[in-house]
Amino acid sequence: MTKLVILDRDGVINEDSDHYIRSADEWIPIPGSIEAIAKLSQVGYKIAIATNQSGLARGYFGITELDAMHDKLTTLVREQGGDISGIYYCPHGPDDDCQCRKPKTGLIDQIFTDVDAVRGDTWVIGDSLRDLQAGQDSGCKVALVLTGKGLKTQAKLIEHPEELSGTRDVPVYNNLFSFVEAMLSEGF
């Protein structure tokens, strides 16, 4: 069976912006994130990205710009000796009521259609509540990173634990690199 880790993009792999990442030049990896993805890939994990990209629906950037961002990501990972199995994105806005916009599970469901992996053995790593909700509702294990919106998400979960069932069990890491280091050293 395939070992799989699903990552959010903005705030987990690359720096996030309240004004949206609109070009490959604005797409800046968080220190250690590219190396972390490569390391997971090198030890046999498939890596999939599940990302909401409402900037498309809002007209902030087009598919050409989004493809350039993803080309930059995959190239950087390949240069470190890793591979990304797929990048899945929701192009819709928050009012479009689609099934692929997290916290709904459509993106993750699509990943499991394409990758033969066990949901209960798969990690979903995110910096926002909607990432964690989508992962949990998909039957996956979830972890929060404190990069991007992670600190705000952690504060919200402490103040309102009802937002995510099993909140006390959600592991928290400083960044993607620290998650991967812990995962590989502790074997979880």
Give the catalytic positions in this structure: 8, 10
Cα 143 from Cα 132, distance rounded (Å): 7
Residue 105, Cβ density class (10 Å: 0-12 exposed, 13-18 middle, ≥19 buried): buried
- CB distance 46 to 3 below 8 Å: yes
Q: Which of 139, 131, 185 is nearest to 157 (CA)?
A: 131
What Cα–Cα distance (Å) separates residue 19 from each residue in 15, 47, 60, 65?
Answer: 12, 27, 9, 15
**Residue 103 amino acid letter:** P
What Cα–Cα distance (Å) separates residue 48 from each residue in 32, 37, 74?
Answer: 17, 10, 11
